[in-house]
Amino acid sequence: MARRAVGSRSLHWLTLAVVLPLLVLAVLAAVGARSQMQAAWADARMEAERLAPAIAAELEHDLGQSINEIAIYPDPPIPGEPSPKDEILNGTDIGALENLRNDPDAGISPAGLPRRVLAGLAIHRLDRGWPANVAVMEGLLTVEAPSVLTTLALEKMQLGGMTEARWRREEEIRARVKELGLDEGDVWELRDGVFVHIIHREGKLSFVQIPDMRVDHDRSLPPWAQARLALASSPPGPEVIATSRVRVGSGLEVRILADTSLIEAPVRRLQKWMFAMLGASLATAAVALAVLHRTIRRERQLGEMKSQFVASVSHELRAPVASIRLMADALEAGKVAPETAREFHRLIAREGARLSTLVGNVLDHARIEQGRKVWHMEPCDLAALAADTLRVMEPLARERGITLRHELAPVEASVDADAIQQALVNLLDNAIKFSPPDTAIVTTLANYGKHRTFRLSVRDEGPGIPAHEHARIFERFYRPGDELRRETQGTGIGLSLVKSIAEAHHGTVTVESAPGAGSTFILELPVALSNSSTGH
């Protein structure tokens, strides 16, 4: 018990020595995985913080090149002073009207409208087919002399197209400036997917517009990054990892957005492989420990069975040797009656045969385990061999009140006759040991499977064997439960030897048994071996 306790503690310490470092490694791997993820995000932020100012600087340069100035006009109109030029406007002289239209000092009419525009409209009214007037009027109405009349004049002259679209956009900006009351300063706004920068400074109005789209400015961005414009007043989303102000006016910034899955994907792949390797190591260690535990437990059981075997052999040898010595001493002293002397001689012969069988089993078992057993495969009359064996075992069975019966069919097979007889002796000896008095043991020999194999079976009426022990009873040194072990003699190698003999003949030995129903041991062997020469 002390040895077993020491062995168990050793196994526990060994398990702890293997598992604990792996668990520590698993914890370190988890901490390392977290650090790797943090490092990946730190690198991404560092790269984004480097890229954002560079993109903003390029955008500032582009915006400086695309400022659009907007002409300002009084609304409502401010009336001008009357002039003789007003008479030209009421006339039909196209030449005079043309000169007035082209005169930068034409001034404002008493109605508050530019005289140049009014002259151009008069020319258009008098001669609609004059293309030169249309070309001049586009710039005059929208750039040189804009007024509250421009929108109506564009529609009347059907200028349309880009000129009208640009004017409507500028009108929206003028209206927005008036709405904001932006007398001086600038503002960024986002309308209909377009960023607009409106500047009103020193009596001049200008604007810049940028579509709301991904910003790259021919700069190569990492696959996980997007650069977008945003109003600084709008809250950044969680995907924004870096920003940089655009130094054109105020209120616009470049934001670098990160795709979480793309940043974390390489790290997660690495973690997947790392944890897979760690899992494989844990699984391998678990399997190795399980095998080691099983092997050690098996060795321990084998050691215990060997100890029991030695004790059983010692007991089996001591009893007959002691009996033989006592009877031999009595015979030598000459104090035994003739009838008793004959009985002593018979008992000495029986005990000698028993010792011979026991020693033969032990020696054969040792030779088979060491691979030194030589098998002599020769044609044999199995029925005659079985009948001879039954005659040898008859006296032992009669002593115990047991009847030996047989059903032997003629079978010729290539076998090791001595080994087969030894196997049958062991099976009969086992059956006699465990059979109660006044019962019968039946030995059967028959061809089986179209004469390719034969069956040799021994059936008794003993207590039977539980199903969970059917496989173990053929293990070396194993004996059934404690109660039977105490009540019967034996070393635990008889059935193991029978199994070795069966396997040497390329056959099998099985048992059919249940508690209270007796047992039938069956040897099934081929009639002729593929290699019938002597071997081991």
**Per-residue pLDDT tens over the stretch 78-107:** 898 888 888 888 888 888 888 988 888 888
Is residue 382 domain-resident?
Answer: yes
Angle among Cα 359, 364, 368 to the nearest 5 degrees reads 155
By percentage, how much of the chain surpasses pLDDT 70?
Answer: 80
Domain that holds residue 451: 374-526
**What is the pLDDT, as a whole number, of residue 473?**
82
Long-range Cβ pairs for the range 505-513 (8 Å, 24+): 505/375, 505/377, 505/415, 505/416, 505/419, 505/420, 505/529, 506/530, 507/453, 509/423, 509/474, 510/470, 511/465, 511/470, 511/473, 513/464, 513/465, 513/470
Residue 12 belongs to some domain of the structure: no
**pLDDT at 525 > cutoff 70:** yes
Look at residue 400 and tell me if it is in a domain. yes
Determine the Cα–Cα distance for residues 421 and 110; give it in Å rounded to an integer.
146
Whole-angstrom Cα distance, residue 412 to residue 383? 8
Residue 249 included in any domain: no
Query: Model confidence over 498-507: pLDDT tens digits?
Result: 888 888 888 8
Distance, in Å, from the CA atom of 460 to the CA atom of 439, rounded to the nearest integer, reads 8
Instruction: Calculate the average pLDDT of the chain.
Output: 79
Tell me which of 36-45, 128-137, 201-210, 259-268 is least confident.
128-137
pLDDT grade for 528, boundaries at 50, 70 and 90: confident
Task: Give the C-alpha separation, 182 to 222, whole Å.
Answer: 41
Whether residue 63 contacts residue 208, with contact meaning beta carbons closer than 8 Å, is answered with yes
Instruction: State the pLDDT confidence band at 536, using cuts at 50, 70 and 90.
Output: very low
DSSP state of 505: T
What is the arithmetic mean of pLDDT over 372-376? 74
Q: Are 214 and 75 in contact (CB under 8 A)?
A: no
Predicted confidence band of residue 480 (pLDDT cuts 50, 70, 90): low
The answer to whether residue 72 is domain-embedded is no
CATH for 442: 3.30.565.10
Structurally, how many domains does the chain consist of? 1
Please report, to the nearest 10 degrees, the dihedral formed by the alpha carbons of residues 461, 402, 502, 300 taken in order.
70
Find the angle CA(252)-CA(254)-CA(259) to the nearest 5 degrees: 140
The predicted-structure confidence for 419-448, as pLDDT tens digits, reads as follows: 888 888 888 888 888 888 889 999 999 887
Question: What confidence tens digit (pLDDT) does each residue in 58-75 have?
Answer: 888 877 777 888 888 888
Reference 119, options 93, 138, 156; nearest CA is 93
Question: How far is C-alpha 57 from the chain's CA centre?
Answer: 48
**Residue 488 within any structural domain of the chain:** yes
Whether 127 shows a pLDDT value over 50: the answer reads yes
Query: 304-324 pLDDT, tens per residue?
Result: 656 655 555 555 566 566 667
Task: Map tokens 């020319």 to a residue.
Answer: 123
The number of CA neighbours under 13 Å toward the Cβ of 241 is: 21
Of residues 310 and 520, more confidence is placed in: 520
Residue 405 lies in a domain: yes
Inside any domain, residue 343: no
